[in-house]
Structure 1
Amino acid sequence: MARRLTPEARRAEIIEVARTAITEDGYRSLSLRGLARRCGMSAPGVMHYFPDMPALLEAVLDHRDETDLAAIIDARGPDVTLVELFDAARAYYVARSAEVRNFDTLEAEALDPNHPAHDYFVRRTERTFEQLRPYIDREFENPGEVGTVVRLLLDGSRVARLRSPALSAVEQEAGWRAIQDVLDRYPRRGGSEPNAGRDRHRSRRTPAG
């Protein structure tokens, strides 16, 4: 029998259980019936909160993006630079390689316009850039040009990762350092050194476990 929870708590539990299921087995293995068993509910009970799999999937993706972004920003604090933010994101996802692999597979499948998550990932690309815009505007003297470059770099690196999911850690590191080198060519506001904050955080970094 399902535990008594408020509707908000029950909905949050279903989302978290679905995220765990995708992390462990991938989206293709997820079904309403299987998810209901994991939650100790019936399939109609799950459908009371999410009428179909596309609605559930979008809620899971929204939740993942929100919690990941909060954790990445909290790791560096409010004064983080753009490159430091990217570096924190990379470290965060390296430590979650199994989850990243299955959600990357989901994103690659969603390139198909008929996939239930296709529209979500189209919107996500624009939303991610809008979340980065304040960092770009605050830090760079020419934010418009840097914004264009950042968008191209992020789109390019994402496509490369989706096409070559077996990239080694060394290859991924080389690609990330190349992105940093490109951003370091753009002048910062107030004449700040682009590497200062990054070197400070590098000195404190420990290898991901």
Structure 2
Amino acid sequence: MTAQVRKGYAKGRARRSEILDQAMTLFGEAGYRGTSLRLIAQRCGISHPGLLHHFPTKESLLLAVLEHRDAVDEVWLYAGDPRGVERLRRLADLTELNATRRGIVELFTLLAAEATSPEHPAHAYFVRRYRTSVADALRAYEEAAAAGYLRPEIDPALAARQLIALMDGLQVQWLLSDGATDMAQAVRAHIACQLTLNFAASTAC
């Protein structure tokens, strides 16, 4: 591969990353329906055909944005390799972060419901994502149990599924209450009732 070809690939990757960043921002601000490909192209300083070169449909861009958001969140979630209770605390903090990006939460919630159909283009993405999310929560609960911080009557496997269900269910309530529902407080209170130590000074079972 020549230096010129490598430079072209690097430029293409940088352009794709910029499109995803701008699309994620615009979807978060105006929602999926309120954001057009032309607007995203304009924000990136490229032509509409130029954007279609990277993402031929709005749907393909949407799936890429969801995966990109996961990648960005994972950098923050995994920073410092948190384990056990600290890992659960990061998951609770994630709900607080989501409260700052209504458009993305709305988009995720809508697609998660639609993607229960095996024919939906995002079906495989959500199957994989939920499997990974539950497994991640299970590992955190198991580590908390091994450290002696999980109440003996709490089953880590069941707790993991309950936590992910709670987080997603709260997003629906938060959207319908126009942001009045405190997602982070509810998640922290739920986790606090499962632990043998004070999860947060402001949280009590």
Normalising by structure 1, report the TM-score.
0.71
- Give the percent of matched residue pairs that are identical in Structure 1 and Structure 2: 29
- The structure-2 alpha-carbon separation of the partners of 1:96 and 1:107, relative to structure 1 and needing over 3 Å to count, comes to closer
Which of 50, 53, 57 in structure 2 is aligned with 1:52?
57
Mapped partners of 1:79, 1:170: distance in 2: 24
Structure-1 residue corresponding to 2:33 = 28
- Describe the superposition over 1:115-134 as per-residue Cα deviations: whole angstroms up to 9, x where unpaired: 65454333321121233343
1:106 paired with 2:107, answer yes
Tell me if structure 2 keeps the 8 A contact 1:24–1:98.
no
Mapped partners of 2:186, 2:173: distance in 1: 17
AA paired with 1:109? L
- The structure-2 alpha-carbon separation of the partners of 1:130 and 1:20, relative to structure 1 and needing over 3 Å to count, comes to same
Mapped partners of 2:187, 2:139: distance in 1: 24
Structural RMSD (CA):
3.0
SS in 1 for 2:33: helix
Mapped partners of 2:123, 2:45: distance in 1: 30
AA paired with 1:80? R
Structure-2 residue corresponding to 1:87 = 89
AA paired with 2:55? F
The alpha carbon displacement at 1:25 in A equals 1.0
Tell me if structure 1 keeps the 8 A contact 2:24–2:104.
no
Structure-2 residue corresponding to 1:173 = 185
1:70 paired with 2:72, answer no
Mapped partners of 1:23, 1:150: distance in 2: 28
Tell me if structure 1 keeps the 8 A contact 2:92–2:187.
no
Structure 1: unaligned runs, 5 residues or longer: 185-193, 204-209
Mapped partners of 2:81, 2:41: distance in 1: 39
The alpha carbon displacement at 1:109 in A equals 1.6
The alpha carbon displacement at 1:96 in A equals 5.3
The alpha carbon displacement at 1:161 in A equals 2.5
- The structure-2 alpha-carbon separation of the partners of 1:94 and 1:138, relative to structure 1 and needing over 3 Å to count, comes to closer
- The structure-2 alpha-carbon separation of the partners of 1:30 and 1:118, relative to structure 1 and needing over 3 Å to count, comes to farther
Tell me if structure 1 keeps the 8 A contact 2:31–2:103.
yes
Tell me if structure 2 keeps the 8 A contact 1:32–1:53.
yes
| Residue pairs, 1:1-209, within 5 angstroms | 6-74=11-79, 77-81=80-84, 83-95=85-97, 97-99=99-101, 101-110=102-111, 111-113=113-115, 117-140=122-145, 145-165=155-175, 166=177, 168=180, 172-181=184-193, 183-184=194-195, 194-195=196-197, 198=199
- The structure-2 alpha-carbon separation of the partners of 1:169 and 1:85, relative to structure 1 and needing over 3 Å to count, comes to farther
How many residues end up aligned between the 2 structures? Answer: 182
Mapped partners of 1:24, 1:174: distance in 2: 25
Structure 2: unaligned runs, 5 residues or longer: 1-7, 147-151
- Describe the superposition over 1:63-87 as per-residue Cα deviations: whole angstroms up to 9, x where unpaired: 111111221332xx32432x33232
- Describe the superposition over 1:149-187 as per-residue Cα deviations: whole angstroms up to 9, x where unpaired: 211232134124314422646575145312331x32xxx
Mapped partners of 1:63, 1:46: distance in 2: 17
Tell me if structure 2 keeps the 8 A contact 1:54–1:117.
no
Normalising by structure 2, report the TM-score.
0.73
